[in-house]
Amino acid sequence: MKQLLQLTNVGFNYHTSSGETMALREINITVNEGEFVAIVGPSGCGKTTILSLMSGLIKPSSGQVLINGLPAEQQRNKLGYMFQRDHLFTWRTIWQNIMLGLEIKKDKTKQNKDYAEELLKKYGLYEFKDKQPNELSGGMRQRVALIRTIAVKPQILLLDEPFSALDFQTRQNVCNDVSRIIAGEKKTAVLVTHDLSEAVSMADRIIVLSARPARVKKEFLIDLKAEGSPLKRRESLRFRGYFEAIWKELDTNEEE
């Protein structure tokens, strides 16, 4: 399996007026092509910082972050980032919002527009393409945000708590939608989440971080794909076993 993303002995320190704080230490993570990896850990341990390092937005204080064997900051065009909020522009139609990434990249070719249109049709949003974002439900808006991200054809999707702003029922449905779209488009994904059930129901592998300064404490391979959608996976008897094992790691995750 091809390695797309690699963090080797990565450390990161925050600098403030009061001094230096170590946020990450000796982080070693690999992500393979087609894999869905979730990162969980105590609040404030540096999960989103790891996504920022993966995206090349910030550089590590030590170690290296490579995408396709090159420094992450040189491979930003290979990444798509999905945030907690959908960040759709209310004054633009759904279609215009989806075109935004292609406009920024100056890559609004007929081929790319056809691909975006195909995504809208495939995932049930084509009839809404001329609507404004405030005419759509929260779940539909997140689907639009994901399609906007995928339309620029990234190799890797970075998902930063993308469902946290949604209510519980909508959240479950959107998890199903997002999982289906990512699998359907054969994308590699890294998810940061506080919701352990979400991680177990969606991921192929879960990385558990320690308290700050974070290190990789343990990894779990999740073998629930055969169960179907994330909602179906939650009904599996093995789901509870995975959940309890990972919860135990988090529950004993004391700062060292």
Could you please state the CATH topology (level 3) that the domain comprising 1-44+54-67+164-243 is classified under. Rossmann fold (3.40.50)
pLDDT digits (tens, 9 = 90+) for 127-173: 999 999 999 988 899 889 999 999 999 999 999 988 887 888 888 88
- Comparing CA positions, the residue from 193, 171, 170, 245 lying closest to residue 50 is 193
CATH 3.40.50.300 intervals, the chain: 1-44+54-67+164-243
Find the length of the chain. 256
- Evaluate if pTM is beyond 0.75: yes
Q: What is the mean predicted confidence (pLDDT) over 216-224?
A: 95
Q: Partners of 65 in the beta sheet?
A: 7
User: CA 23 to CA 245: how far, in whole Å?
Assistant: 25
User: CA 162 to CA 146: how far, in whole Å?
Assistant: 9
Amino acid at the residue 53: L
Q: What is the mean predicted confidence (pLDDT) over 49-77?
A: 92
- pLDDT exceeding 90 applies to what percent of the chain? 67
Q: Is the pLDDT of residue 46 over 50?
A: yes
How far apart, in Å, do the first and last CA atoms of the chain sit? Answer: 35
Q: How confident is the model at residue 88, as a pLDDT?
A: 92
